[in-house]
Amino acid sequence: MNNRDIADLLFPNLALTEGEVFAKYPQRNLDKSQIVTRFAPSPTGYMHIGNFFQAFISYNLAKNSNGVFFLRIEDTDKKREVADAKKVLYNVLNRMGIEFDEYQTLDGQDVGNYGPYVQSERNHLYHVFAHKLVSEGRAFPCFCKKTEGKEDVLKLRENKFAENDEREYDPCRNLSYEEVKKHIKNGDPFAIRLKTKNEGTERVKFNDLIKGDLEAKANAKDFIILKSDGTPPYPFAHAVDDTLMGTTIVVRGEEYISSTPAHVELFEALGFKQIQYCHNPLIYKLNEQGNRRKISKRYDPEANMMYFFENGYPTDALCEYLLNMINSGFEIWRKNNPDTDWRQFKFNANEITTVAPIFDLVKLNDISKNIISKMEGKTLYQNWLTWAEEYDAPLAERLKGEEEKFVKACQMDRDGAVKPRKDIYNYKMMKENFAYLFERPTEYQLNSEDKENANEFLKEYSKTFKMPASNEDWFAGVKEIAEKLGYAADNKLYKANPDAYKGNTAKACEFIRLAITGTKNSPTLFTIMSILGEEETKARLAKQF
Ligand code: GLU
């Protein structure tokens, strides 16, 4: 009896032979330059920005090479799975505009020829290759009670090998056919473990597109490739799936570098061509002391992709920010191509930063301000409304009811302006920003020493106020009254002799601004007045502090 017989005992009902599997998953008919990447999330019900970062890199590499980008749901760990997790995933990816060439729809339809695109539906494939490895003496069944733990392995190590021996051989690695048969007859559960060829002293080399040639201690552990429930842990699923599905570059987080030697041995044992890895750096944050730490679900709201939707960031802002993190060339490219879609920016895997990117909300806000400053009023209004419909229903009603007013507000000093206003970085802040358009101010940022002058000026100004025809008219009107009341008509005059005046025209404008908006800083007053209309403007100007 040989290993093949053991394999047949373990897998008596294989659906396919190895040859049939390869016939079902032929090599993709693509040029060498066309990259095939995938996003392979586990359905945990939460999308971390680091996961999205990976998806985004993979998407860009495939798209930029006219290649293929597919989605594979890695749901082999049923213990970690959460209801609706797939929905969360698809929702985030959709909103971010990430499109897949191949995937499984939410209702379980596979789109593409390399499916199923969900790992829990691929067990029959893993079994073919587990059978192959056992047949060839490169894997074996392990019947230890706690076979999924480490205790058994460690026990053997203590008993058999010297103190500093690196081998982690499993006690079941040399079971005979008869022994296996007895276990199977008893119905004993078993896992399948790789029978490592290494003895703990070897080194292994592998290449990483970002980090270059790497060398590490080779795997010397009989690790599990199929759990006792017949499902594969990550390494085996990765080797089988990425090979059959024709992935050409595996983009994954650099936390996987330490386990890559095990994956290299698996590829070799399976007779698969070693896959090209691209381990992307993880995203960090600076804490208050200025030390870096990984951005984390626990401490950082921005670690959750939902944060950006809830706060109403344009998705392009986040994409551009991530491109900045991926490749420092993006910033220069953006400067030289201020109006080009970011999708035109191309980078190669080996141009991805080796330095851990630090997430900085201020930087994201800057990028976002810029993007929003270029939106046409109508577009900004529409984006704001779409956001409000999801996160602030009463606001959405108000926006819909006064569309013309709010479109104009969104246009103020923004679209078409020579120096567009850059005060908005997300949709959530807009209500606060435009508070004076929703209701009359109730609080005023007035300096107490200005109270008397402000009241005097507003009294005079509101008395004869008529909606001016243009910004110039408006300013001329302010100037006239200001001069009459003892304000300097010209700033030079004022500067030369400030004590001779109550202030300059800017001060007079400040009083008007305060009466109308409650704040000292706002878009062009004339435009705000036109939005509010003569009656409302006049009523606000009648304010006495
Ligand atoms: N399911 C793995 C994860 O979410 C995939 C890693 C990979 O992309 O290979 O970490």
| pLDDT confidence bin for 295, thresholds 50/70/90 | very high
- What residue owns the CA closest to ligand 1's atom 5? 40
Q: How far is CA 280 from CA 220, 253, 336, in A?
A: 26, 5, 27
Closest-CA residue, ligand 1 atom 10, reads 41
Q: Which residues of 139-153 are buried (b: 16+ CB within 10 A; e: fewer)?
A: bbbbbbeebeeeebb
In this prediction, residue 419 carries a pLDDT of 87
Q: Among 43, 40, 121, which Cα is nearest to 85's?
A: 43
**Which of 51, 234, 277, 278 most suits a substitution to test ligand 1, by most atoms within 8 Å of the C-beta?**
234
Q: What percent of the chain stands above pLDDT 90?
A: 84
Q: What is the CATH number of the domain that holds 526?
A: 1.10.10
Q: Which atom of ligand 1 is nearest to the CA of 51?
A: 4
Q: Within a domain: residue 139?
A: yes
DSSP 8-state assignment for residue 206: E
Does residue 478 lie in a domain region? Answer: yes
In-domain check, residue 485: yes
* Residues contacting ligand 1 via CB (< 6 Å): 40-42, 74, 238, 250, 252
Task: Using CA atoms of 17, 19, 25, 30 in order, give the dihedral in degrees to the nearest 10.
Answer: 170
Q: Are 275 and 307 in the same domain? A: no
Judged against a pLDDT cut of 60, whether residue 149 lies above it is answered with no
Strand order in the sheet with 139-142: 139-142, 191-194, 224-226
Q: Per the domain annotation, does 235 fall within a domain?
A: yes
CA–CA dist 183, 469 (Å, integer): 94
Give the end of a domain, one of 391, 407, 433: 433
Do 218 and 203 form a contact (C-beta atoms < 8 A)?
Answer: yes
131 with 228, same domain? yes
Domain end: 224, 249, 280, which one?
280
Ligand 1 atom nearest to 74, measured from its CA:
1
Indicate if the pLDDT at residue 452 is higher than 60.
yes
Note the residue count of the chain: 545
Decide: helix, strand or coil at residue 141: strand
Output the average pLDDT for the chain: 93
474 shares a domain with 487: yes
Q: Report residue 456 CA to chain centroid gap.
A: 54
Q: What is the reported pLDDT for 160?
A: 60
Reference 277, options 127, 98, 57, 33; nearest CA is 57
Helix-helix angle 315-326:329-336, to 10 degrees:
130
127 and 271 in a single domain? The answer is: yes
- Domains of the chain: total: 4
229-238 per-position pLDDT tens digit: 999 999 999 9
For the CA atoms of 492, 494, 498, 501, what is the dihedral angle to 10 degrees?
160
Classify burial at 201, counting beta carbons within 10 Å of its beta carbon; exposed 0-12, middle 13-18, buried 19 or more.
exposed
* Whether residues 274 and 128 fall in one domain: yes
Query: Is residue 161 domain-shared with residue 243, that is, in the same domain?
Result: yes
Domain, as residue range, for 402: 377-433
pLDDT digits (tens, 9 = 90+) for 321-337: 999 999 989 999 999 99
